[in-house]
Amino acid sequence: MREDGKPRCDAFLRKPDAPGRAREPRCPGSSGFHPADVPILCGGRGLNTPSPEPRSRPTTALRLRRWLLRLCILVALGLVATWAWHQPFLATPRAVWSLYRQPPPTSLVVPVQGVRARQIADTFGAQRGASRRHAGVDIFGKRGTPVLSATAGVVASIREGGLGGRQVWILGPAGERHYYAHLQDWRPGLEEGQIVPAGTVLGFVGDSGNAKGTPPHLHYGIYGKDGAYDPLPLLRATR
Ligand SMILES: [Zn+2]
């Protein structure tokens, strides 16, 4: 016997068929070998063993019914998804989707209340220390002056730390990020995920972060797909 429990070939070679007995399967190369013996020796059913009944093929009507059922399920899922997409609890993802599909802004609200664009100095790209350049503009105002969102958007982040101190990040049109830094404080009730029209109060002018002790101002920057770019031309484009 082989390790797998099947009979060895030479067992068949040594045992000729006795008269009246059913024919034994033979190994390839031995006398009396028939190709139908191979599957039997290998543990199969043999070439002449009838295979199980083939599964009956579904009728055209049954196939059509299955396809209709699948179509109904897909339509139902589509209706549920459409309904859910328009519910208030998905307002923020809907706004984010819409913002990413919009083109970049061609003009901006000046983000410090009462300041005109021509009062803002062009300091974008100016050297700041040995290894850093100014990645935005500084808009000076009295401490506590409201800071406004320059675009419509969604509040992406409200945090404190680093160079910017108290800061707000807004996701705006075309997926660009707008950075409002050195705030004295945030507007009470401002939360991440809120949808904000242009001109919404985000916080108040201050000197937090690395601006501590300097005249209160807002550092405002825009980060597009290629990094920071100068917001001043867009601020000056607003009439
Ligand atoms: Zn700055």
Q: Closest by alpha carbon to 225, among 186, 172, 183, 188? A: 172
**73-85 residue pLDDT tens:** 999 999 999 999 9
Kindly state the average pLDDT of the residues 218-225.
97
Q: Closest by alpha carbon to 157, among 188, 185, 184, 180? A: 180
Cα of 221 to ligand 1 centre, how many Å?
8
Cα of 128 to ligand 1 centre, how many Å?
9
Residue pair 27/12 in contact (Cβ under 8 Å)? The answer is yes
The whole-angstrom separation of Cα 27 and Cα 89 is 74
Residue 105's pLDDT is 96
Cα of 204 to ligand 1 centre, how many Å?
15
Residue pair 221/232 in contact (Cβ under 8 Å)? The answer is no
Kindly state the average pLDDT of the residues 161-165.
96
The whole-angstrom separation of Cα 206 and Cα 142 is 8
- At 69, list the tokens: 């059922």
Cα of 187 to ligand 1 centre, how many Å?
21
Residue 25's pLDDT is 64
Cα of 142 to ligand 1 centre, how many Å?
16
Cα of 49 to ligand 1 centre, how many Å?
87
The whole-angstrom separation of Cα 170 and Cα 180 is 8
Cα of 164 to ligand 1 centre, how many Å?
9
- At 116, list the tokens: 């005109």
- At 207, list the tokens: 């000197």
CATH number at 117-236:
2.70.70.10
For residue 16, is pLDDT > 60? no
Cα of 213 to ligand 1 centre, how many Å?
14
Cα of 224 to ligand 1 centre, how many Å?
17
The whole-angstrom separation of Cα 33 and Cα 30 is 6
Residue pair 152/196 in contact (Cβ under 8 Å)? The answer is yes
For residue 14, is pLDDT > 60? no
Q: What are phi and psi of 232, to 5 degrees?
A: -60, -45
Residue 13's pLDDT is 45
Any idea where the domains of the chain sit in the sequence?
1-53, 55-86, 117-236
The whole-angstrom separation of Cα 167 and Cα 183 is 6
Cα of 237 to ligand 1 centre, how many Å?
21
Cα of 99 to ligand 1 centre, how many Å?
26
Cα of 181 to ligand 1 centre, how many Å?
8
Residue 39's pLDDT is 55
Average pLDDT over the chain, rounded to an integer? 87
Cα of 136 to ligand 1 centre, how many Å?
6
Cα of 200 to ligand 1 centre, how many Å?
21
